[in-house]
Amino acid sequence: MKLIHALLASTVTIAPVNALAQAEATDLGSSTQEAAPAAEIVVTGSRAITNGEQAPTPVTVLSSQQLRNTAPNLAEALRQLPQLTASGTPATPNPTIGGGPSTQSTANLRNLGANRTLTLLNGRRPAIFGGSGLVDTGVFPQALISRVDIVTGGASSAYGSDAISGVVNYVVDTDYQGLTAEARQGISTYGDAGSYAVEVAGGTSFGGGRGHVVASFNMNGQQLLEADQRDYNLISAATIPNPLAGQPGQPQLIYRENATIATGTFGGRIITPGLNTIRFDAAGNPVPYTPGTESTGALQVGGDGASYPSTLVARTRNWSAYGHAKYALTDDIEVFAEGSFGHARSTSPNLYFFNLGANGAYTVRRDNAYLPESIGALMDEQGLSAIQLGKIDRNYGRNVTFFDSDTWNATIGANANLWGNWKLDIYGSHSVSKTRYGAQNNRIQARSRLATDAVFAPDGGIVCRSSLTDPGNGCVPTNPFGETPLTQAQRDYLTATSIARSTTKQDVAALSLHGDVVEAWAGAITGAVGVEYRKVSLDQVADPIGQANGFTAGNLKTSSGSYNVKEAFAELQVPLLRDVTLAQDLSLNAAIRRTDYSTSGAVTTWKVGLTDEVFHGFRLRASLSQDIRAPNINELFGGVVRGVTTVRDPNFNGETFLNIFSYSGSNADLGPEKARTLTAGAVYRPDWLPGFGLSVDYYRIKLSDAITQVAFQTVVDQCGVGNALFCSLISRGSDGRIVEINAPLQNVQSARVSGVDFEANYQTEVGNGDLNLRALGTYLDQYRFSNPGAATVEQAGTPTLPRWRANFLASYTNGGFTMTVQERYVGKTTRVVLPTTVDDNTVKSVFYTNLTLRYRFEDERMGSPELFMNVNNLFNQAPRVGQTNSLNLGFARMYDGALYDIVGRFFTVGARVRF
């Protein structure tokens, strides 16, 4: 009996097919699967279907060569696909200290969040990192990936939790024979943002052909691209309040460049009435403050207000190693072992510290030792004992966020041919991820206040006021005026590194059986059954300052917890009709899974699907499924943050109450999110045009019990209208006044997302070569998230969510030469979400052109060397200004790096050899 491949718990094997049938079975995209075995292929999407053409859920398949022809690496190539545009990359800076930057590449289908996309490696759950439960695809064995399958529909009944928006499965060629090595170097047209990568992989048989081993090593890095290295990043564009709002025909917001904040400058501006026409230059000298135009409250256009751009690309360094060995004990039993390790690091300059607004500005008293005499005299004239100083404090420099991760994974398993055509797949895996993240140069808030409150000591020296009564407190005085960098002594006192160290562990065990159940009237009924067990734990320790909320930002918390999941599933594929008019091949697919969470109890997921080959070459398909996403470790046990808030209480006629204690964060009582997913579509491959295929699929996802952090005011308002859930989150004193609001994450959000996916390809011979054309597109019809007490807003077509996205690919191969041209289209969006109005609410569409040239020399003695060059953004299109934030902190983050190219024209050259 033929030796079976390393079939995994969530894949099936189908019989040999020709190129056209193979493409049909995997939804038009697999005609160039160079690494797939010739005798059989593995199709993601079901456990029981033995003919991929009968899959009711759309599956897009891309070979590694197709992906490499569009971008230098797999992660970037996938991120450019319309369905995965919002996927994360390790080079994307994150302005949130506690959240990044991240070292990971993560898949995000439908822009529903990476935590609602299930990422698999060879059909199995790989290692996760951190408490988010996400998967870093950057540590996968890049050189051994033969293809990537994308299931664009709910698949929880087949795979378990997280498959709400779909599945992205990376398929490794565990039969690879030989040695391959690739090196590449990239640089932008401006001579910066350089990148590099080295990939080595090899495989060989042993034991007389009964065994096979493959291994790979990857290393790559990306240089930092600073905020000021692109002119288009210096325009400080924002949507700001319209001073004429409320007048006939006037919008609420106006879009302007050179927007600045009006409440602070880099050297400091006095915001106290009577002296608010004074600011301080870099040397700390008082000079007149020039106000901007179109000023409303905290924002203005021009003037002396502060603004600065965000970092464009983070610095990253990553390396990983992978090994897989398998051995056939008999002709029917094969065992395998797999191990991997990945290390990643990312750093990025982040925010300047800010002291803004009535509650945040520096308070400078009359006797401050650094107060200019002229200002002191003006204060005396007006009878002021103190002034408020608004400032974006560049004295400190930016804090630098960092994220390190080390991830190990070990898997063992076996595959066996049993009676008839029944097969057994069993495996167990253990993974550990250690992360270290936070921010260097983080400001200690209380010490900052003490240091700027500087006075003259009896001996004439300058000391902190607090040191007069507590000489041993170590306070080092600082000058709040101007932009003088901190001395080392000041920095040692005022700043520290906020850091959290976490260890996430995951254990998985799975067993499945699949094969023919019975021969029925229209063909064999096939089935699959199985059980799975998974345990996830998190142990995180944070620094003591963050634990006490001592930093200005990024107060990370200690947390720990674990949960386990027990699952059982079954699936049937039932042929209903065969060779009947309008039903040449009508089949039913049904699956059910019972999942029991140790934290929230049991839940059932299911799927029902139909496929119908109406006539040869034309097939209809549809599926309806109930899917789930369980809360991750962070959401369950990530810790609670204490703060204060201001709310209006309807119990007291809307009176405003200040300094109410508030608690937010994780919630151990969270339950799974639920989604009802509908897909319906058609596949057409006409006989009259060989090589052409077209598929169109509609999808609709209704999400309920989604996990979200509810605003404190919403909690109070919802309690006011009688919602018992929210009333239980509020504690009141004996006088009925609110004492505290305990509002952790809740399962209270709902959503509706729908659209249409399009895919077409055409393959033909042109001259002595082969021409491959392919188009993938998606239209977003609805994207609506609803929160309690808030109006549902349509977000389709708004920033980050264009209605239209598409890729057009043309590849021509003649001998050893291949040229590929890709056009990536991002449709127009709006700047703000209706019903908010703005004077310029249109962000234009854009086309990006990518060009790849490859030439392979047929010289096996030299390893058949291949040289290649990729040019991304060939025509150097500037990004569109879409993220027009309010600029309240002076921080201008204008571009969505997930949608638009923010680097500019980028050249990558490299070489590859194969022995």
User: How confident is residue 22, by pLDDT bands cut at 50, 70 and 90?
Assistant: very low
Whether the per-residue pLDDT at 227 is higher than 80: the answer is yes
* pLDDT for the residue numbered 6: 31
- Cβ atoms of 60 and 23 within 8 Å: the answer is no
* pLDDT for the residue numbered 154: 79
CA distance 835 to 467: 54
* pLDDT for the residue numbered 79: 85
pLDDT tens string 796-810? 998 889 999 999 999
CA distance 439 to 552: 11
Place of tokens 């759950």: 125
pLDDT tens string 840-865? 999 999 999 999 999 999 877 777 89
Does the predicted model carry a pTM greater than 0.85?
yes
- Cβ atoms of 307 and 892 within 8 Å: the answer is yes
* pLDDT for the residue numbered 83: 87
* pLDDT for the residue numbered 765: 94
Lowest mean pLDDT among 155-159, 342-346, 767-771, 881-885: 881-885
Residues in contact with 791: Cβ distance below 8 Å, sequence separation at least 6, in sequence order? none
Whether the per-residue pLDDT at 741 is higher than 60: the answer is yes
* pLDDT for the residue numbered 645: 86
* pLDDT for the residue numbered 206: 95
CA distance 769 to 272: 75
* pLDDT for the residue numbered 88: 74
For range 608-624, the mean pLDDT: 95
* pLDDT for the residue numbered 35: 35
* pLDDT for the residue numbered 583: 92
Lowest mean pLDDT among 69-78, 136-145, 236-245, 374-383: 69-78
Hey, how many other C-beta atoms are within 10 angstroms of the C-beta on 748? 20
Domain ranges of the chain: 11-226+314-349+402-440+500-631+670-709+744-914, 237-306+353-393+444-484
Hey, how many other C-beta atoms are within 10 angstroms of the C-beta on 314? 28
Averaged pLDDT of the chain: 88
Whether the per-residue pLDDT at 584 is higher than 90: the answer is yes
Hey, how many other C-beta atoms are within 10 angstroms of the C-beta on 16? 11
Say which amino acid occupies 110. Answer: R
* pLDDT for the residue numbered 270: 97
For range 60-86, the mean pLDDT: 85
CA 288 to chain centre: 45
Lowest mean pLDDT among 86-95, 314-323, 385-394: 86-95
Tell me 889's DSSP state: T
SS3 886: coil
- Cβ atoms of 703 and 751 within 8 Å: the answer is yes
* pLDDT for the residue numbered 42: 44
CA distance 320 to 777: 33
Whether the per-residue pLDDT at 361 is higher than 70: the answer is yes
* pLDDT for the residue numbered 686: 94
Whether the per-residue pLDDT at 26 is higher than 50: the answer is no
For range 789-793, the mean pLDDT: 82
Indicate the CATH number for domain 11-226+314-349+402-440+500-631+670-709+744-914: 2.40.170.20
Say which amino acid occupies 249. Answer: G
CA 828 to chain centre: 22
> Is the pLDDT higher at 363 or at 655?
363
CA R_g for the chain = 30
* pLDDT for the residue numbered 17: 26
Residue 576's nearest CA partner among 498, 627, 512, 522 is 522
User: How confident is residue 888, by pLDDT bands cut at 50, 70 and 90?
Assistant: confident
CA 5 to chain centre: 33
pLDDT tens string 684-728? 999 999 999 999 999 999 999 999 988 889 899 899 888 888 899
- For residue 878, is it left (φ>0), alpha (ψ between -120 and 50) or beta? beta
Which pair of tokens denotes residue 516?
């023919």
* pLDDT for the residue numbered 178: 94
For range 715-744, the mean pLDDT: 90
Whether the per-residue pLDDT at 390 is higher than 90: the answer is yes
**Helix, strand, coil shares, percent, the chain, to 5:** 10, 50, 40
> Is the N-terminal amide bond of 251 cis, ω within 30° of 0?
no
Whether the per-residue pLDDT at 682 is higher than 80: the answer is yes
DSSP H or E run through 523:
strand 523-542
Task: Kindly state the percentage of the chain with pLDDT values over 90.
Answer: 68
CA distance 806 to 777: 4
* pLDDT for the residue numbered 89: 73
Q: Which residues of 473-504 are buried (b: 16+ CB within 10 A; e: fewer)?
A: eebbbbbbbbbbebeeebbebbbbbbbbbbbb
User: How confident is residue 566, by pLDDT bands cut at 50, 70 and 90?
Assistant: very high
Whether the per-residue pLDDT at 186 is higher than 70: the answer is yes
Say which amino acid occupies 232. Answer: Y
CA distance 665 to 671: 15
Which pair of tokens denotes residue 180?
């391959």
